[in-house]
Chain A
Amino acid sequence: MAKEYHTINQIAGPLVFVEKTEPIGFGELVQITLPDGSTKRGQVLDTSDEVVVVQVFEGTGGIDRASGVKFLGETVKMPVAKDMLGRILNGSGDPLDNGPPIIPEKRLEIIGAAINPWARDNPQEFIQTGISSIDGMNTLVRGQKLPIFSGAGLPHNDIALQIARQAKVLGGKEEFAVVFAAMGITSEEAQYFMKDFERTGALKRAVVFLNLADDPAIERLLTPRLALTTAEYLAFDLGMHVLVILTDITNYSEALRQIGAAREEVPARRGYPGYMYTDLASMYERAGRIKDKKGSITQFPILSMPGDDITHPIPDLTGYITEGQIVASRDLHRKGIFPPIAVERSLSRLMGQGIGPGRTREDHRAVSDQLYAGYAEGRDLRGLVAIVGKEALSDRDRKFLDFADAFEDRFVRQGKDEDRTIEQTLELGWELLSMLPLDSLTKIDRKFIEKYHPTVKKK
């Protein structure tokens, strides 16, 4: 039985300092018993001969100097089992539903070890989300981590849900699962997800972790790691294809900043700790595929950019780690376009590996490049039109302007339940490209134009 100490000498923010202990391991799990008999959990952040610093997940409210501190002799572990599918747990991994207790098949360290880069398999299986602006322009593949950069009031949850509903690998009939981790979102938002999961029957295949807005902030540091540990178990032990939705990374990062401040660390930018890149990477990098293993982890983190500022440290550091980003646009949203995906600012870096002959179609890359170029040119002209008027434009320019509008209106815009195949997406792309002068299609090989261009191809 672990010894109980009553030697707290300082409490500051989420941190408790305990003196005169036996040697305590770094990262060990801690249980604190309050005078009223309730308990809280924490983790060792710093350990020395003199003092042990404990970060308390549920917040330090109510802890006094006389509270008992027990070091449990092991680091934080997550009990996992296949039965977790269909269950709703809190941010610390305890059941919230009234279901039976989960009998663990394994207990896993929640600080997952890094996948050996040599053991990784190249992610290259195209996931069809049915959303043109993603499939056509920013293609997702299995094992990718692709965040949604959004802003307050934008429909990122709808985008995430539509992806979760429609995502499929063509020709595949493998086992899949969704792991959903909420960090500091409102219960209303959480309900929105849960309802959709229930409506579509996805809940049976999902494990849900809920740390809501009124749950302790520090627990948010735990929640995504519990979720990812579960996902790894489902993917690499049980061979499932797991989609992990983490929302909202911004709330997670705030909790990280809070710990840093409590430890009086020297901050990097805007008060966030200097190790935030590494810390975020320790979550995002837990996506991927492993050689000779069936399953995969695909991550969809959602974050709201404070002030819609993509250079804010949270989206910035995320963008540096993830394999691209889907950026939600307030402009498109205002125009009433759903999904309001700003394709020009979005990117999927693994696109190249997931598209082309045998995966999507041979002309995919060329079509997408040309759509980008045309859209960019049309958007530039909008600025000019505002000054000189549409009449001052050349004929060619006017075509580009119309193309950009049509692109937003027909290619980007689609229904919340509209599930387009990749062929439909590409055909739509060609149809739009045929609005442009033929000689401006410089990014497409002759042979593709001859084969696919609606007015050129031989009928």
Chain B
Amino acid sequence: MATKETGRISRVAGPVVTAEGISPRMYDVVLVGELKLMGEVIKLVGKKTVIQVYEDTSGIRPGEEVVDTGAPLQVELGPGLLSSVYDGVQRPLPVLRENQGDFVSRGITAPGLDRKKKWEFTPLVKKGDEIGRGAILGEVPEGNIVHRVLAPSDAKGKVKNISSGNFTVEDVVGQLDSGYELRLMQRWPVRQARPYVEKLMPDIPLVTGQRVLDLLFPLAKGGTAAIPGGFGTGKTVTSQQLSKWSDAQIVIYVGCGERGNEMTEVLTTFPELEDPKTGKPLMGRTVLIANTSNMPVAAREASVYTGITVAEYYRDMGYDVSLMADSTSRWAEAMREISSRLEEMPGEEGYPAYLAARLSEFYERCGRVKVFSGGIGSISVIGAVSPSGGDFSEPVTQNTLRIVKVFWALDSKLRERRHFPAINWLTSYSLYSPILEDWYRKNVAEDWNQVRLWAMETLQKESELQEIVQLVGSDALPEEQRLTLDVARMIREFFLQQSAYHAVDTYSPLKRQYEYMSAIKRFSEHAKKAISLEVPLERISTLPCRADLGKLKFEETIDADLKKVTAEMDKQFASLGG
């Protein structure tokens, strides 16, 4: 057991407090001042201990007491995480509101997991079983999934007894021969990655239902993606779309230094939506970590670690987890702020020199892995990046791009014309595409990849032609090139644009995406033939099937419509003659 050592404050400068008289380890949690504000040791110099405090330090004075808890910042892991809403250091916000009112005040802690709630536990091990790292002790129904109760890392040995029934997270559900007590809950230090057996190839896509992402720039389960973009370009909407629609079993949404109202939006919309996988309420697969921009920066710094640790815990049960961090730039800024208070030598734009290291450590914690409990689990991470001035050459964007495999570049120009999602199709990329090809071929369509390449090529050609058009106008181009422009326009307006707010358009299954793009491709092929037979483009682009292709995406009957329009298309082109 850790001993609790007491010292005194010698300096307070914003969120950074210096203390004397304690000799803690790095990253130990300490309680600061009479209010017992929670803080974390971030530097040791001589006899001095430097602490970042997770709460506002107003009124705290030198001389007040500091207590070392002897343990690092940990999260509580067990049933009850799903549907929870936490601040950056896993304090449940509903409980805080109950205890202290509508505004977050200081010095109040509440445990991450409810101590009173009982869970129905069914053991999967029995007396005499030898258990070790990652063993599944039993199961508890939680939210939309079966919560597999994992043996804590220090629980090794023979099971002496274990019982089924209803238990709180603290109740003892069994014992090992050594006397070790088994519970539904365990703790884990957030800054330390949870171990796994080995990393596997991320060769299954994380299906998002967002056409531009799934077809052109797919993310793999266990993969990493960055969404950089200036303000208002769609980082949050995209992250929220992914947390609503992606086919992960567990979603961790970290609102890191962003808006309070956005959290409210998630909290009001998610309970009304269905988990596309299980049909149960979406909140039942979601953990929300909300450390908004006006909440303490040190807790913001911790929030991404809290999030990824919870993600690892569910991964260890063998689930596919996706984690959205909105925004990693605010996390980097929190690092910068703390670093500057420590008077550390700054790197670029005042960010600490260890920025790149912290970012890669974080992204390294995701992946598709073989877990100790036997199965395969994955963590996919989608990190929003908010570059200052919308300029992607700044340090956070650049350091992130060096690590992640998918780059969804948001573009202010596209936003200005309300092309949403404002993902630039020329600069974005996904390094997973080749790895995922096989999967699409087997699970969606044999020629998925051809369709994809055709779309990319058409868009590429368009951008080349656009340069000419800017100089001479489109009328100066030959018909065939004008057709390319028209088809590219169809791809952009019909397929790439997808409204997050439209009941039907918001989500598009893979099969439908394929059919949709194939229909556009078919139109293009028909049109090419017609043009070679000297049918004027004017007549082709005013065919009713073209307009119908654009509108059907808003109709409930879209799948049937697609078939109908395709058939109509064949007829209409046939009637053009030639």
Which of B101-109, B153-161, B168-176, B518-526 touches A?
B101-109
Residues of B within 8 A of A113 (CB): 56, 103-105
Q: Is B471 an interface residue (CB 8 A)?
A: yes
Q: Is B429 an interface residue (CB 8 A)?
A: no
A113-B103 Cα distance, complex, nearest whole Å: 6
A122-B259 Cα distance, complex, nearest whole Å: 12
Asked whether, in the complex, the Cβ of A384 is within 8 Å of the Cβ of B470, the reply is: yes
Name the residue in A113, A143, A290, A344 with the highest tally of chain B Cβ atoms < 10 Å from its Cβ: A113
Kindly identify, within residues 66 to 121 of chain A, every residue whose CB is under 8 Å from any CB belonging to chain B: 74-75, 109, 111-121
Residues of B within 8 A of A377 (CB): 417
**Neighbour of A25 across the interface among B60, B97, B265, B350, CB < 8 A:** B60
Asked whether, in the complex, the Cβ of A122 is within 8 Å of the Cβ of B265, the reply is: yes
Q: Is B361 an interface residue (CB 8 A)?
A: no
Kindly identify, within residues 549 to 572 of chain B, every residue whose CB is under 8 Å from any CB belonging to chain A: 550-551, 554
**Neighbour of B259 across the interface among A269, A285, A353, CB < 8 A:** A285
Q: Is A258 an interface residue (CB 8 A)?
A: no
Kindly identify, within residues 472 to 494 of chain B, every residue whose CB is under 8 Å from any CB belonging to chain A: 472-476, 493-494
Asked whether, in the complex, the Cβ of B96 is within 8 Å of the Cβ of A116, the reply is: yes
A372-B104 Cα distance, complex, nearest whole Å: 40
Q: Is B163 an interface residue (CB 8 A)?
A: no
A117-B257 Cα distance, complex, nearest whole Å: 12
Q: Is A24 an interface residue (CB 8 A)?
A: yes
Interface residues in B, total, Cβ within 8 A: 79
Residues of A within 8 A of B64 (CB): 23
Kindly identify, within residues 207 to 264 of chain B, every residue whose CB is under 8 Å from any CB belonging to chain A: 230-232, 255, 257, 259-261, 263-264
Asked whether, in the complex, the Cβ of A269 is within 8 Å of the Cβ of B388, the reply is: yes
Residues of A within 8 A of B346 (CB): 266
**Neighbour of B94 across the interface among A23, A118, A281, A286, CB < 8 A:** A118
Q: Is B337 an interface residue (CB 8 A)?
A: yes
Kindly identify, within residues 372 to 413 of chain B, every residue whose CB is under 8 Å from any CB belonging to chain A: 386, 388-391
Q: Is B427 an interface residue (CB 8 A)?
A: no
Asked whether, in the complex, the Cβ of B475 is within 8 Å of the Cβ of A115, the reply is: no
| Contacts known (A25-B59, A269-B349, A376-B417); A117 close to B102, Cβ less than 8 A | no
Asked whether, in the complex, the Cβ of A117 is within 8 Å of the Cβ of B554, the reply is: no
Asked whether, in the complex, the Cβ of B416 is within 8 Å of the Cβ of A345, the reply is: yes
Asked whether, in the complex, the Cβ of A439 is within 8 Å of the Cβ of B547, the reply is: yes
Q: Which residue of A lies closest to B237 (CB)?
A: A349
CB B91 to nearest CB in A, in angstroms, measures 10
Q: Is B333 an interface residue (CB 8 A)?
A: yes
| Contacts known (A120-B264, A319-B231, A376-B416); A313 close to B388, Cβ less than 8 A | yes
A117-B390 Cα distance, complex, nearest whole Å: 27
CB A373 to nearest CB in B, in angstroms, measures 6
**Neighbour of B294 across the interface among A26, A122, A269, A281, CB < 8 A:** A281
Asked whether, in the complex, the Cβ of B333 is within 8 Å of the Cβ of A23, the reply is: no
Asked whether, in the complex, the Cβ of B471 is within 8 Å of the Cβ of A387, the reply is: yes
Q: Which residue of A lies closest to B96 (CB)?
A: A116
A313-B59 Cα distance, complex, nearest whole Å: 31
**Neighbour of B473 across the interface among A28, A275, A384, CB < 8 A:** A384
Residues of A within 8 A of B231 (CB): 316, 319-320
Name the residue in B264, B295, B415, B476 with the highest tally of chain A Cβ atoms < 10 Å from its Cβ: B264
**Neighbour of A352 across the interface among B10, B261, B476, B501, CB < 8 A:** B501
| Contacts known (A45-B13, A373-B418); A114 close to B294, Cβ less than 8 A | yes
Q: Is B297 an interface residue (CB 8 A)?
A: yes
**Neighbour of B551 across the interface among A23, A349, A397, A442, CB < 8 A:** A442
Residues of B within 8 A of A392 (CB): 473, 475-476
Kindly identify, within residues 381 to 399 of chain A, every residue whose CB is under 8 Å from any CB belonging to chain B: 383-384, 387-388, 392-394, 397
Residues of B within 8 A of A275 (CB): 297, 333, 337, 340
Asked whether, in the complex, the Cβ of A325 is within 8 Å of the Cβ of B232, the reply is: yes
Kindly identify, within residues 105 to 141 of chain A, every residue whose CB is under 8 Å from any CB belonging to chain B: 109, 111-123
Asked whether, in the complex, the Cβ of A388 is within 8 Å of the Cβ of B551, the reply is: no
Q: Is B61 an interface residue (CB 8 A)?
A: yes
Asked whether, in the complex, the Cβ of B259 is within 8 Å of the Cβ of A323, the reply is: yes
| Contacts known (A118-B85, A288-B260); A47 close to B62, Cβ less than 8 A | yes
Q: Which residue of A lies closest to B296 (CB)?
A: A114
A86-B294 Cα distance, complex, nearest whole Å: 30
Asked whether, in the complex, the Cβ of A117 is within 8 Å of the Cβ of B263, the reply is: yes
Asked whether, in the complex, the Cβ of B493 is within 8 Å of the Cβ of A442, the reply is: yes
Residues of B within 8 A of A293 (CB): 102
| Contacts known (A269-B389, A321-B259); A115 close to B416, Cβ less than 8 A | no
Asked whether, in the complex, the Cβ of A48 is within 8 Å of the Cβ of B232, the reply is: no
Beta-carbon contacts of B4-29 to A below 8 Å, as 1s and 0s?
Answer: 00000011111000100000000000
CB A99 to nearest CB in B, in angstroms, measures 30
Q: Is B3 an interface residue (CB 8 A)?
A: no
Beta-carbon contacts of A302-323 to B below 8 Å, as 1s and 0s?
Answer: 0000000001110011011101
**Neighbour of B61 across the interface among A26, A109, A120, A281, CB < 8 A:** A26
Asked whether, in the complex, the Cβ of A268 is within 8 Å of the Cβ of B261, the reply is: no
A123-B265 Cα distance, complex, nearest whole Å: 9
Beta-carbon contacts of B284-323 to A below 8 Å, as 1s and 0s?
Answer: 0000001011110100000000000000000000000000
16 pairs from A and B in contact (CB 8 Å cutoff):
A26-B12, A47-B61, A48-B11, A115-B104, A118-B97, A122-B268, A269-B389, A277-B333, A281-B292, A313-B389, A316-B388, A316-B389, A319-B231, A323-B261, A350-B261, A388-B473
- Interface residues of chain B, those whose CB is within 8 Å of chain A, are 10-14, 18, 56-64, 85, 93-94, 96-97, 101-105, 230-232, 255, 257, 259-261, 263-265, 267-268, 290, 292-295, 297, 330, 333, 336-337, 340, 346, 349-350, 386, 388-391, 415-418, 469-476, 493-494, 499, 501, 542, 546-547, 550-551, 554
A-B pairs with lowest CB-CB distance, top 5 = A281-B293, A48-B11, A311-B389, A376-B417, A319-B231
